[in-house]
Amino acid sequence: MHFLTDKLEFPNVAAANEYGMVAIGGDLSTERLLLAYNCGIFPWYSDGEPIVWYSPDERMVLYPNELRVSKSMQQVLKKGVFKVTFNQAFEEVIYSCKIIERKDEFGTWITDEMEDAYIKLHKLGIAKSVEVWRGNKLVGGLYGLEVGDIFCGESMFSKASNASKVAFINLVDNAPKKYKLIDCQIYNEHLASLGAREIDRAEFLKYLPARN
């Protein structure tokens, strides 16, 4: 396993182990995070642990033209129960992603340090959010980073049935003119039901700015 130093670098992702771990350590500075995402790497760790950097061999992605919206979801969207905004409440979204209780998960991987780091990226116009409202209450949303022609999704939350799906569908509906790919990182049944699928790492890397 490669241990990072203060030097701003990452090993080749081909060196990742069977779990997709590329390196350990380093920091969450803006410069290091941008380098990581441009290399197809993202941080994922728990509070109190060193930062762990991943680039899984099987990458969960969605091609915008492969989005699947069920008839029941189409009805939800038509009813207009939810209002959707973009980049209007980023800090509320990431905080909600951080504290929401998730089935079969213990604690959160969004540490205070990570929260602060992505808020800085948002203020630079790199990290984006989608918000879903019912009345004046934020009931769902997601956030991620723009990396060239890719939207790298980080996390989503839902406090009302279907709210996170509404956020994701609206992201994708606005994606064709902006993104060639939505990066969902690792397999998720929720996103698979919407058309996301796994591709191998080598294929995913072709979409990164450094490879174009």
Q: Name beta bridge partners: 83.
A: 133
Domain boundary among 31, 56, 81: 56
39 and 92 housed in the same domain = no
Angle between helices 112-123 and 90-99 (to 10 degrees): 160
Q: Which domain CATH number covers 173? A: 3.40.630.70
Tell me the pLDDT tens digit for each residue of 139-159. 999 999 999 999 999 999 999
Domain boundary among 25, 41, 56: 56
84 and 52 housed in the same domain = no
82 and 124 housed in the same domain = yes
Contact, 119 vs 93, CB < 8 A?
no
Question: Which is higher by pLDDT, 116 or 49?
Answer: 116
Cα-only R_g, the chain: 17
Tell me the pLDDT tens digit for each residue of 82-100. 999 999 999 999 999 999 8
Instruction: Decide: pTM greater than 0.75.
Output: yes
